[in-house]
Structure 1
């Protein structure tokens, strides 16, 4: 059995008040949660949503398919992470990776999980993504 997780971030201004949302489909069960920060960026909220999902699922052995509409989150976790770690968290321009602390937390949280990172086009009618977007905006509203 596979757990499907949809994550999204939202920001009112960039930087500004922002929120993250997580929508989990686990068999017949659904779980929704969200949060926010009074001063953040959209990328930070996209990453925080994924992190919160992984923390929530930390003791699960099932395959997890995590859907994100952030190419940065997907590529960061599937393409860039190993090089960043090998290069002491420096990017290809020899500069410290932006949001390094959250990336490090994502790396640690994903180690014991079987996660497939899947990009989904945002605001394109995907029901799971639309729900995660709604929750992320609810998170942003809670701190605005």
Structure 2
């Protein structure tokens, strides 16, 4: 059985604005790593967080035992707590409004279903967790590249 840890993160410079995501996949037996990343010129932070988790899970062959590490309460609580209620209400939030980013939540649910098991752990961002710090840097670089490609000047200090 393959045991994989995936650290995932998304970043957006402006919300909406240029965004990027990254995931670091670590094979727990061998220590081998794989990096998955991407960017969009106009997106939101929540979309990038979800995209990071989806891309990480989809980069694996099906059937793995996966531990997901992320600093996004939106993703971790969404997949572990809110998703069953959304589905039961026909993809409506508790207040009756449509769930935001429903297509990404459905894609995440499908990505999870490909594996033997997936557990989710929230880690505090910018608190010295090695994998989280690294994946944050990847996501931020991708967001910067997305901004450069779109012609937008970005200042890291202004966000």
Q: Give the TM-score range, shorter chain.
A: over 0.9
Answer 1 or 2: higher relative contact order, Cα 8 Å, separation at least 6: 1
The Cα shift of 1:33 comes to 2.2
TM-score, length-scaled by structure 2? 0.86
- Is the CA contact (8 Å cut-off) linking 1:18 and 1:143 kept in structure 2? yes
Larger of the two Rg values belongs to structure? 2
Q: How does 1:1-144 map to 2 (within 5 A)?
A: 2-26=3-27, 27-57=30-60, 59-113=61-115, 114-144=117-147
Runs of at least 4 residues off by over 2 Å: 59-62
Q: How many residues align?
A: 143
Secondary structure of the 2:139 match is helix
RMSD: 1.0
Equivalent residue of 1:121, what SS?
Answer: coil
Q: Distance in 1 between matches of 2:95 and 2:139?
A: 32
TM-score between both structures, scaled by the size of structure 1? 0.95
Q: Is the 8 A contact 1:11 1:40 kept in 2?
A: yes
